[in-house]
Structures are given as structure tokens and as C-alpha cells.
């Protein structure tokens, strides 16, 4: 089977496939609270059955393993395109399946999932519109989407652009980093500001409940207290954007 350079890139075991544990825990806490609220609001539907949570783009499964203690009452299924990532994820997750985000490529029935974890995936996609269509398809009406992605308008990116420097998180090549701080190539194709992410999710059939900020582990150690402060005080300038949305009823 012929593969593309982008597919070869993601099948390379050296390419990072996990996001930071603190962000994962934060998302898991928000999701666990939301699912618990669902049980209280709709006891006849949810009290005796675990929610189905899809970790789409699960990578090596470490994020799902980190979230598992907070989601122990629910069924977590890891989904990824990369066979190499799924082999590694199977060490952490009971259920892993291969799936794609276009052309009904997720192997789940319409409305099968109660929640989706979508952690630092959307910035890697060639076609994010089709991806969100597919996420909406497999989510039940009112189902939860927990999405995280790097922030194009992070506080340091605003300063870097003023000096003519390529923003952190952005990449112009799959082979090497050019024109920005850092050395690691991770395959980012698209970047979002908080406003753009909110508008995109809304246009894609989701009601955005909240967008918050999270710090980035790659910030130099002396600047990390400042990064944490800005993420808390000014989410639109945070390093990472955390979006909690629900599939709009009737769509």
C-alpha cells in the first residue's frame, strides 16, 4: 500500500504521540463532572450504564491511562490512525481500535458515544471540517467534546511575531524546525486562537460551554510561573486552549 509522507511521519515511533499529564487530568476532571451531572439529570438513561468515552487520537495511551482513575465508572476506548501508536496504547487500554476522521472512518454507530476526548489532534489535520463532522456523527445529541490544542495567540507568540520570529507550535516542514524556538518537529498543520476555535466549533454543530487555558511544558523553566499565571488570568493568551463543548441537539 502506498503511503503519503504525512502518514509515514505519524507511523515513525520517534514522533511524540502524547500530550502533557496535567492537561489530561484537567480535561478528565471536567468530563467526569459533566458525566456525573448527566446521571443526576437523566437517571433513567444513565444510572445503570457506563458512559462510552472515545479517546480519539489516543497516541500511546498514556493520556487515557492518566485519565482512567477519574473515569473508572465509564468505558474508555482508544482510537488512533497509527498502528504503531495502537500497539503501544494496548499496554494501557483494554479497548483500542483503528479509525480515521474522514468518510465515516470511525468504526462506531451514529450516536454511539457519550463523550469524546480530542487532545491535541485538530492541529495535525489536513481536513478538520470533516473530522468535526465525524465527531458529531458518533456523539449522541448533547454528548460532550473535550478538545485541546495549542494557542496561536499564546502570550509569547505575540511577542515573537513582533520580532519577525515564527510562532511556537507552527511548523513549515516535516523534516526540521525553521525560524522559531525549539527543535522538535511534531507535524502541526493548523493553529487556532480562542476566538477562531469557538467560532469553528459553533459552525460545526457544537455548543461551546467554556474555553479555558493551560500551561505548556516546553516553556523555559524560569518563565513557567508567568505562563501559569497568564493561563489562569487571561485564557485567550494561554499556551494551550481547552474547549468543552456539547453536540447541539437536533443537528
CA–CA dist 225, 35 (Å, integer): 32
The pLDDT tens digits of the residues spanning 12-37 come to 555 554 555 677 888 888 888 888 88
Q: Is the pLDDT of residue 2 over 70?
A: no
The pLDDT tens digits of the residues spanning 182-240 come to 989 989 999 999 999 999 999 999 999 999 999 998 899 999 999 999 999 999 999 99
The pLDDT tens digits of the residues spanning 112-127 come to 999 999 999 999 999 9
The sheet carrying 52-56 orders its strands as 95-98, 75-80, 52-56, 113-119, 139-150, 240-247, 206-214
pLDDT of residue 50: 87
Q: Which residues of 81-96 are buried (b: 16+ CB within 10 A; e: fewer)?
A: bbebbbebbeebbeeb
pLDDT of residue 71: 87
56 three-class SS:
strand
The pLDDT tens digits of the residues spanning 66-117 come to 888 888 889 999 999 999 999 999 998 989 999 999 888 999 999 999 999 9
Q: Is the pLDDT of residue 156 over 90?
A: yes
Is residue 66 within 8 Å of 24, Cβ to Cβ?
yes
CA–CA dist 123, 152 (Å, integer): 10
pLDDT of residue 115: 96
The grid coordinates of residue 91 equal 499496554
The residues near 51 (Cβ < 8 Å, ≥ 6 apart) are 35, 38, 73, 74, 75, 114, 115
pLDDT of residue 170: 96
Query: What's the Cα-to-Cα distance from 55 to each of 18, 108, 127, rounded to whole Å?
Result: 12, 13, 19
Mean pLDDT in residue range 161-177: 95
Amino acid at each position: 500500500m502506498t503511503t503519503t509522507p504525512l502518514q509515514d511521519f505519524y507511523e515513525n515511533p520517534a514522533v511524540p504521540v502524547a500530550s502533557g499529564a496535567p492537561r489530561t487530568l484537567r480535561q478528565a476532571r471536567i468530563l467526569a463532572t459533566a458525566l456525573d451531572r448527566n446521571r443526576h439529570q437523566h437517571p433513567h438513561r444513565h444510572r445503570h450504564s457506563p458512559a462510552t468515552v472515545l479517546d480519539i487520537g489516543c497516541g500511546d495511551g498514556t493520556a487515557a491511562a492518566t485519565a482512567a482513575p477519574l473515569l473508572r465508572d465509564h468505558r474508555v476506548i482508544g482510537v488512533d490512525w497509527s498502528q504503531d501508536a495502537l500497539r503501544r496504547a494496548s499496554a494501557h487500554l483494554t479497548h483500542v481500535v483503528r479509525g480515521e476522521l474522514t468518510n465515516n472512518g470511525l468504526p462506531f454507530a451514529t450516536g454511539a458515544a457519550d463523550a469524546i476526548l480530542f487532545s491535541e489532534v485538530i492541529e495535525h489535520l489536513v481536513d478538520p471540517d470533516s473530522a468535526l463532522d465525524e465527531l458529531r456523527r458518533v456523539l449522541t445529541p448533547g454528548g460532550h467534546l473535550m478538545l485541546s490544542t495549542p494557542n496561536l495567540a499564546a502570550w509569547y507568540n505575540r511577542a515573537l511575531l513582533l520580532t519577525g520570529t515564527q510562532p511556537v507550535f507552527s511548523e513549515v516542514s516535516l523534516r526540521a524546525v525553521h525560524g522559531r524556538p525549539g527543535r522538535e518537529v511534531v507535524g502541526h498543520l493548523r493553529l487556532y486562537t480562542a476566538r477562531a476555535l469557538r467560532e469553528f466549533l459553533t459552525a460545526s454543530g457544537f455548543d461551546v460551554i467554556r474555553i479555558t487555558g493551560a500551561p505548556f511544558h516546553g516553556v523555559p523553566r524560569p518563565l513557567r510561573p508567568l505562563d501559569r499565571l497568564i493561563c489562569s488570568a487571561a485564557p485567550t493568551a494561554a499556551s494551550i486552549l481547552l474547549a468543552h463543548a456539547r453536540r447541539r441537539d437536533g443537528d
